[in-house]
Chain A
Amino acid sequence: MTELTLKINGEDVTADVETRLSLADFIRDHRRLTGTHLGCEHGVCGACTVLMNGEPVRSCITFAVVADGTEITTIEGFEDDDPMTLLRQAFHENHALQCGYCTPGMLVAARDIVTRLPDADEDRVRLELAGNLCRCTGYVGIVNAILSVIEKRRL
């Protein structure tokens, strides 16, 4: 067991964890933050994407102990976050989700795109989304939602 100290969604957390425990399992099973989803558990689908010190990471292939001393933000931690508020509304208006399983990871990735690439066009948005799989929407609503937020943030 290894002691782990980190911040999750602004809250200080200390825990003893097995070294083999993934950050995703720690978030979901130990912290009961089940908004972070597991779609492949091998770092391809992006459903488990969370922010670590502001950068998107795959929590399924990140050991919990690696997060020691970091700040983690999960989908539950964006309540007062302006880009996320815009994205949520845009995802709703653009029918960017169907089953909703990929949505939390998709939103975290989308937030990274709109904040990092204020000039991204459709091709660039699609390229940036290459690490997040959605089986339902054909990406139409997701791409439109992200582009609409980029546009809004320009104004």
Chain B
Amino acid sequence: MADGGTTEGKGIGARVLRKEDWRHLAGKAKFTGDFQRPGQKEMAFVRSEVAHARIVSVTKPAGFESSVFTAKDMPDMQPMRAPSKMPGYKGADYPALAIGKVRFVGEPVAVCIADTRAEAEDLAQATLVEFGELPAVVDMLAAKAGDAPLIHEDWGDNLVMETFADDDFGKIADRATVVVKREYRMARHAMNPMEGRAVFAEWDDRTDQLMMWTSTQVPHLIRTGLAQFLGLEQRQVRVIAPDVGGGFGCKALLQPEEVIAGWLTRHLEVPVRWIEDRREHLVTGANCREHHYFVTIHATPEGRILGLDCDVTIDAGAYSVYPFTNGLEGAMAHGNLPGPYDIEVYRCRTQTMTTNKPPLMPYRGVARPGVCYAMEMTIDALARDIGVEAHDIRTMSMVKQEQLPFMSIAKKHFDSGDYAKSVEMVVDMIGLDKIRSEQISANGEGRLVGVGMGSFVEQTAHGTSVFASWGVAMVPGYEQATVRLTPDGGLELRIGVQSHGQGMETSMAQMAYEVLGIDPSQVTVTHGDTGLTPYSTGTYASRSMVMAGGATARACRVLAERMEIIAAHLLQCERAEVTVRGGKIVSGKGEVSFAEIGRVWYLNPDELPDDVDQGGIEVTMGYRPEPDSGAFTYASHACKVAVDIDTGEVEVLDYAIVEDCGTMVNPMIVEGQTYGGATQGIGTALLEESTYDSFGNPGASTFADYMMPGATDAPHYRIDHMESPSPFTEYGIKGMGEGGTIPTPAAIGNAINDALKTIGAEVTETPFTPRRVRAAIAAANKNRQGDAA
């Protein structure tokens, strides 16, 4: 039985520096845009300039007709279809190139190819599209109106999906005498990985395969989708994600450009390349986060939350995306609104509306930054109303440690932890008492200081049963990993998930070290290649470390058993006398190196015992947690802000995080993911917004008008950890890649409203820009004057 590592500490819990760093530091990494082949063509797109229109005609530039393609030229390319079994769901097929109509600015209408991108862009510019403009539906609330224009005429309305759960508030009416109601909005964003999307495709005649290098988080899903929509068999498609420059969700879906590149290289028999530019990303990738909330909390006079009543509207854009659909966010909002709170009554309606904007995609945190913001902001509003500290409401109302495991009112199966303790710790870290006395002694001129927090519990690594209940096109099952001992005793580890910044080439090697004691430097982790790795639905939902890490551990354990059989024979001892430890097989009679095992199996099989496992020293094992309802990470964030009441400017002065993701495999990576997530949350809270005019024209198409968080916007984070292992996963690991984004808008919004409480102003719409903060202050002043008169 393998007992893995030695005291050197490179396994679970060690801050192992990353194996993947050096190629990036040297400038020798290989991203999709770095691929180049002789004779390749560059792609550029003609995109819709209007939000909603019939395509009257497309006129190709004279002499270049064979270099410009519309949907009519590609009759065998199927629109992308993402089914869902969610009741009442209406998903619109997403044509890779528009057919008949366009439904958002930036929708691809035609593709042009040329030797250089500049020439391809020249062709795109010279292609004339005549649009028969139709009235656009730009706002999700306006989309509900009975006389709203229809985006998909055959639907009869603009409703993608509705979820509804009613409850009897009479049950708590005599105790829940305090009722607080608020309205919130979260703005539309773009995810903005620093590498935009990119694809390089060529047909390999030798293997009769479409070879596609693409910047994706989900290579196996891309293969499945490409085959389906291009009319190929899946064995004819190989998808490789080389170095990928961030994803955050927008690369977890099949993209129109990938389907089109596949069609072009197959039919034209030349390699093709497309590299998204930032303007394309900001226009076509404005696809996430846009929610609207009415939230009502019912509580006791002391602030114990008993009931929650919500109406949620989600702006899902124009089409349904493969494979996750544009309905997932509604289901997620419904299931996550009550957060870590133990409430008695929950009523919630979510309405997912189609609009003339890019299709909604799941951005890091998926619905939870929105629901956490709506819930946590309302909790602080309640605290201000009844005159208590908001953290007391939280600790009083949260599910208690001794209640776990616990089925929440929204049917989430919480596994382990102490939610209230994370609140107490973060209140202590931020120095609440000191800030309160600072507020009292401040003279109130110019800058007001405020403190706020946000807490969440996050389902991670949820598996088969959860996705099957959503009825989406792909349901994750047993995640697999393959380990193979090389003839010289090194280890090859192959995983179907994809690492694009998460450091899995290191953390998965740590997992192998944990079981086998093999130094991470002797482990090669291969990922992101459908030709080399087991099928996987890929990297999303904070699942990779739990799922692929768990599979890696199991495969390593079977490998250890097989090596032990060979080693016992070589040492002429009983199987029970040998064990894998510290990267070799040891017994009282001596030891055998992994290299010796490799030599015997591959090169000198005459030395093998009769009872050797004929599967050899290559093992594939599958893993899924049991139950697969998810490992629940949680955290509390608190921050201190200063609000300039004249300019409306908000400065984050301090930011404290207490998080619990169960057993940490590499705390350095955990912290890096958390800081990065929180900084994206600061973007959500203070900066990022994809604006539209009333015609559906995007107003933020460069980094000059779409504000990204820079080094001066990010605070000097302070972080502390709790470690409550999940009882349901290998080593108690929980997923943690997304959590940093979730409570940040709530924490910052609450801090701003705390600063503004003496004025009676509240911000309720992200991002909390100087303009919105000033408007909130002006509205409060106007109210007061109204009261005085």
Chain A residues close to B by CB (< 8 Å): 18, 20-21, 28-29, 32-42, 44-45, 47, 74-76, 88, 91-93, 95, 97-104, 107, 122, 125-127, 129-130, 132-143
Contact = CB atoms under 8 A, between A and B. Distances in A.
A138 B637 CA distance: 15
Nearest to B25: A88
B559 interface: no
A124 to B, nearest CB: 10
Which of A36, A92, A100, A142 has the largest number of chain B CB atoms within 10 A?
A100
Interface string B666-679: 00110111011111
Contacts of A33: 27
B716 interface: yes
Contacts of B275: 38
Contact of B676 (A28, A133, A135): A135
B18 A92 contact: yes
B678 A138 contact: yes
B27 A44 contact: no
Contact of B194 (A45, A91, A122): A45
B702 A100 contact: no
Contacts of B36: 29, 32
Interface in B230-249: 243-246, 248
Contact of B27 (A45, A76, A135): A76
Contacts of B712: 126-127, 129-130
Contacts of A134: 194, 711
B478 interface: no
Interface stretch (B44-52, B94-102, B500-508, B576-584): B500-508
11 contacts: A21-B118, A35-B26, A40-B277, A45-B708, A95-B17, A95-B668, A97-B25, A138-B672, A138-B714, A140-B716, A140-B717
Interface string B87-128: 000000000000000000000000000001010000000000
Interface in B668-713: 668-669, 671-673, 675-680, 702-704, 708, 710-712
Contact of B278 (A45, A74, A92): A45
A76 B26 CA distance: 6
A45 B25 CA distance: 18
A101 B672 CA distance: 16
B278 A42 contact: yes
B711 A142 contact: yes
Contact of B680 (A41, A122, A135, A141): A135
A41 B280 CA distance: 11
Given A92-B17, A100-B243, A139-B679, A133 B118 contact: no
Which of A129, A140, A142 has the largest number of chain B CB atoms within 10 A?
A140
Nearest to A146: B711
Contacts of B192: 135
A78 to B, nearest CB: 9
A142 B711 CA distance: 9
A21 B118 CA distance: 9
When A and B form their complex, which 5 residue pairs have the shortest distance between CB atoms, in order from nearest? Answer: A35-B27, A101-B245, A100-B24, A75-B27, A138-B675
Nearest to A134: B194
Interface of B: 17-18, 20-31, 33-34, 36, 116, 118, 192-196, 243-246, 248, 275, 277-279, 500-503, 668-669, 671-673, 675-680, 702-704, 708, 710-712, 714, 716-717, 740
Contacts of A103: 24-25
A36 B27 contact: yes
A51 B775 CA distance: 44
B243 to A, nearest CB: 7
Nearest to B668: A95
Nearest to A123: B712
A98 B678 contact: no
A102 B29 CA distance: 12
A29 B275 CA distance: 13
Given A29-B36, A41-B278, A18 B118 contact: yes
Given A99-B245, A99-B501, A136-B501, A74 B195 contact: no
A141 B679 contact: no
Given A135-B680, A138-B675, 20 more contacts: A34-B27, A37-B245, A38-B277, A41-B277, A92-B22, A99-B195, A99-B243, A99-B246, A100-B20, A101-B31, A101-B195, A103-B25, A107-B25, A125-B711, A133-B194, A134-B194, A136-B246, A138-B679, A139-B711, A140-B671
Nearest to A74: B27
Given A32-B36, A99-B500, A135 B25 contact: no
A74 B28 CA distance: 12
A122 B703 contact: no
B22 A75 contact: no
Contacts of A99: 193-195, 243-246, 500-501
A132 B194 CA distance: 11
Contact of A98 (B279, B676, B708): B676
Given A99-B500, A99-B501, A138-B675, A91 B680 contact: no
B26 A45 contact: no
Contacts of A20: 118
A21 to B, nearest CB: 8
Contacts of B18: 92, 95
B679 A130 contact: no
